Every structure is written in C-alpha cells, then in structure tokens.
Amino acid sequence: MVGEKLMKLRRKSGMSQQDVANALSVSRQTISNWESGSSAPDIGKAIELAALYRISLDDLVDDEIDVTVAAGSKDDGGIDTHVLKSLEGSQCRIALTSGLLMASAGFDGVVRVLEADTDWVRVEYERPRKGRAVELVDMGSVAGFQIVAPPSAEEPQKQKGGAFDGCE
C-alpha cells in the first residue's frame, strides 16, 4: 500500500520518478521499486519522502490511511488557511472535483475533519461493517465542503433533504 501511496503523492506533486530520485539522491529504479512494492524506503528516505510531499511520516507509512487525489488536481494557493482550520472537528460532506467523497451504499458521506491546511484535509469516518477509517484528501481535488455539524456540536446532525450544493 505504501507503494501505491507514493505513486499518488508523486503524481499529485507533478514530479517524475527521476525528479523524486534526484531530490532524494537515489536512482529512478529505486523510486520505481518503491512504487511497485518490490522494495520499501528505509526510515531516512521515508522521512525525506514525507517532507517532500508535505505529509507526516505516520500518514506515509500507515496502511490504514489512504490518500485521495483526483486526476489533474492542482494546488490552490488562494485558499484561506483560517477558514480551513475552522473546519477542524466539524462533521462535513466533502465534494471532490470527481464527485462526493466516499459516498457509497450504506454510507451517508459524512466525515469528521481532523486537520486541514492548504495541501491536505485529514478526515475520519465509519465504514459500514468495516469500522473507522482515516484518509488524507488532496485539497486540489476538493470542490467544496458542506458542514453538517460544527465542531462545538456534541451530536452530529443529520442533513434534511437536498443535494450537495457547495460550501455553506
């Protein structure tokens, strides 16, 4: 799973395998081997990779944490960090440029925002019959947030009717 995550992160950053290899002072084949899962980076290189992709080492190596990156996503430097930070602790639905995040049978799409910055939104949610999941979502793939319950709410509120219509 780390290999798939490395490939997603590299593509999100717009880097080639050679670009990453140059940044880490390894061969392009080494990057290819890491991404294919035939080998894994040592702890020192894993730390460098996490710094390069601006995520934590835990997020990089934890197989329970997935990464969502939409095809063709772009970083948006115009996002206000204060607004993103105010989402932390909120129960939300997140619309991606490619659809609603994690909307599937038996799941209402409501996630709790754990952390948010201009690069990533870390969310957690309960999967039907599978339990808790944590996911990193590329901010470049986010089209909008719908707050279902603010951070101060003790009980998540259910949204009444209506389709997702962007930020509220």
13: pLDDT confidence band, cut at 50, 70 and 90? confident
What is the per-residue pLDDT for 86? Answer: 86
CA distance 90 to 148: 8
Q: Could you tell me the domains of the chain?
A: 2-63 (1.10.260.40), 81-149 (2.30.30)
Beta bridge partners of 126: 132
Q: What is the pLDDT of residues 85-96, one digit of tens each?
A: 888 999 988 888
pTM surpassing 0.75? no
Query: Would you call 100 helix, strand, or coil by DSSP?
Result: strand
